[in-house]
Structure formats: C-alpha cells, structure tokens
Structure 1
Amino acid sequence: MPVEIPEEDLYELQARLRRRDEEAPLMVTDLKQWIYCRRILYYLTCLPDVRPTTYLMEVGRQEGELEESRELRRAFSRYGLENGRKEFRLHLSSARLGLRGVVDMVIWLDEEQPPEVIPVDFKFSRTVGAHVQLQLAAYALLLEEASGRPARRGFIYQIPLRKAVEVSFSAALRRKLEKTLHEMRQVMQGEQLPPPARKFSQCAVCEFRRFCNDVSPAV
C-alpha cells in the first residue's frame, strides 16, 4: 500500500531537493543520480522545479529515520568497535569541493591516536553499489575538511539485512570521487545536455523520462 505523504511534508521534500547553495551547489545524493544517468543532474540544475518525489524516495527517508532510533540502542560492536561517540544527521558543506550533504551518522573515535572520524550511511538496500561507495567517500572528504581528522573508513548499514558493510577510503576511490565531482561541475557550468543512460531499461523507470525524446527501446 502506498505511503500517505502529508501535503506540507511533500512540499518540504520538494523544496529541499530544489535548494542549492551557491558555494556548494552539488549535493552528495547527486552522485547516485550521476552514476545512474548523467542527465538527471542536468535536469536538477537547469529545470529545478520539475523534480518529482517518488514513493521509493519517501520510503527510504522514513526507514532512515526509524533506523536512527534503533541506532541509539545499538552497540558499537556492530561496527567492530569497542566504543565511540555517535552523532546523527550532521550537516556538512565545503566551498572547495562545491559539495554539501547530511550524513546519517558519524562515529567519533576521540580516544584513538590520532582521533578518527567514521561516516555511516543508512541504506534501504541489499547491495552496496559503486554509487553508494562514492557517496560515503564524499561524506568522508567533507568530514575531514570540517574536523581536521582522518576518515580512513566508513560503513554502509543495510537496513533490510541489519548488516554493516565496511568501505575503505582508498586512494583510488578518492581519485574517482574527485574526477566525478569535476565532471559534474562541468555539466552544471556548461548547461549542455549529457548523453542518456546506456540501457533503455534504466530510462523506463526514470521519473525524468518524459523530458528525453531521443531514447527508445533497441529494435
């Protein structure tokens, strides 16, 4: 049964998706859209008032809020840690990266030498794809810049599986993130329509399909 979304909450969700800070125009969540189809970022940038709020987006948001309440009772051993300090829904922004976002949870290891910071992203998913790892790495860069602490690893918490998957922030992953952010900024600045997704099956379920008149199923 579809989730009932109060009208005022729907407006707030849509407004939150439209808002883009001038110094940090990219949102961490844009990385997922970029990996799925580069045109979505173009539409969000050039046509910011047409973004629909889908059922799956709302379900993910609600599950994330429920997971936060569960996390308050959860032991650090779930993440292979003995102790730490948890902080939820931390807002981060970087003018240098042109990036901002809200990380679901941060674990501060104050007693480590040097002190460490660990981002945790709650996902209503059974897989950990490349886009999810890029998003987590983006939170790591934002946390490092804001706190001055190293972020050597993070966790994707898969809600359906009740499982924490560790992601190491390797030099290769960091380079991939920097390259991806550079390409995204170029699209935003140039306002040129990127090519469509490689597979039409992706287009078939895309909320922006009606704007792409140059894609069709392969014959």
Structure 2
Amino acid sequence: MNTEETDEPIMLSALQHYSYCPRQCALIHIEQMFDENVHTMRGNAVHQHVDEPGLETFEGVRIEHALPVWSEQLGLIGKCDVVEFHPDGRIYPVEYKHGKKRAKTHDDIQLAAQALCLEEMTGKPVTHGAIYHHSSRRRREVTINDVLRQQVKETAQAVRTLLVSEKLPAPLNDERCKECSLKEICQPRIMADKDSQQKLHINLFEPDQ
C-alpha cells in the first residue's frame, strides 16, 4: 500500500479486528488471510438472517437489515447488521454476535463506529446501540459516550497507520489466541519464541557499551 492509498476508506470490521489484536487485523486486511473455526462458523450462522438487505416494520419501528454506512470524516465504510429507526427519531444500531452476553471492548468500538457513521449520514445524534448475543438471546445496550467515540477515532487512525506501514505486528500470544480463527496461520507461540530467541541472541553477542 503506497502513500496514494492512505485516504482509502477503512472497513468497519478492521476496527474490531485491530482492537482485538493488531496482528489479526494485519493478517486479514494486509495479507488477505482468513480461516474458519468454530467461532467464525457460528458467527456466520448468526448473521445469515441479517446479511441480506431488507426492510420491515414492527410496532412503528422501521428496521433496516445490512444497511450500508460510511463516514467521510473518519474515512470508514461498512454496514450495520440492523438499524432501528424509532417513531420518536431515535436511531439505534444493533450488531449481532455469537456467544453469551458479556462486555467486549472490541465489539463496542465496532458498534460505536457504526453510530458515528449514522450520525454523519443522517445529521441526528446516535446515543445508544446494542450488541445482540445470539447464545444468550439477549441484547447488551451500549452507551455511545465520549470515551467510546474517542476510542473509535484513535483506533481508526491506528488501523490506517498499520495499513500504510504494511508491517505485520508481533503476536500477542495470550488468552485471545485461543479463540482466533487465524491461530494456525499466525503461529503465535512459535513466533513469540522466535522473537525471544532473537533478543537473547542480540543481548548475548552485543558488546558492552
């Protein structure tokens, strides 16, 4: 990726990937690598009924599925699983995730990014949204506060810097790796051991200053 491409829009999913693991983000969005595991297959199954664009109305609420969104200010593009347009003017994005109800910062950042896109597109404030956790069949409401908005902006900039650099960050090699579909491609333990060995080699043979 050259400097002429730095203004290209960033996928909303890249923010979620980066906030979960910068190396995962680079593998997917720079190296174009992706693999399936039980978690991604469950996620795909959950998204089947919201991935097709559509419109329905329930008790006065207009519900849009797979709604394309973007932000020229932040240079973002993507789609929302579900957006509810309420009679009182409220705009309420809902992101679908597999698994049980539990707070995850990377999911909240993705949802907040959707909210910022919707605000720019509609000119209306989006103060709340929700993560729908399929296994629990429950929503977890998220307040789109100033802290989360700032995290979106900082993450978007970090992703842009990463994409321009075309460099693959070092593996985290922690608990997050267990659920990652790219674990076999990433080889976090082997790569982490390799980095440690290189540092030991440098320290061993580097002359004293």
Residues 127-161 of structure 1, C-alpha deviations (whole Å, 9 max, x = no match)? 23111111110110111111111101001111121
Instruction: Assess if the C-alpha contact under 8 Å between 1:123 and 1:159 holds in 2.
Output: yes
1:42-61 aligned at under 5 Å gives the runs: 42-48=26-32, 50-61=33-44
Q: Distance in 1 between matches of 2:143 and 2:149?
A: 10
Partner residue of 2:77 out of 100, 122, 125 = 100
Question: Gaps spanning 5+ residues in structure 1: where?
Answer: 1-21, 77-82
- TM-score, structure 2 as length reference: 0.75
Q: Report how far residue 198 of structure 1 moved.
A: 5.4
Match of 1:11 in 2: none
Partner residue of 2:169 out of 171, 182, 194 = 194
Q: Report how far residue 29 of structure 1 moved.
A: 1.8
Q: Report how far residue 65 of structure 1 moved.
A: 2.5
Question: Gaps spanning 5+ residues in structure 2: where?
Answer: 1-6, 197-209
Match of 1:38 in 2: 22
Partner residue of 1:64 out of 31, 39, 47 = 47
Structure 2 CA distance for partners of 1:66 and 1:193, relative to 1, 3 Å: closer
Partner residue of 1:132 out of 97, 100, 107 = 107
Q: Report how far residue 42 of structure 1 moved.
A: 1.7
Q: Distance in 2 between matches of 1:134 and 1:167?
A: 10
Match of 1:121 in 2: 95
Per mean C-alpha deviation after superposition, the further-off stretch among 32-41 and 179-188 is 32-41
> Which structure carries more relative contact order (alpha carbon 8 Å, separation 6+)?
2
Q: In the comparison of the two structures, how many residue pairs are matched?
A: 184
Root-mean-square deviation (CA, aligned residues, Å) is 3.0
Structure 2 CA distance for partners of 1:131 and 1:74, relative to 1, 3 Å: farther
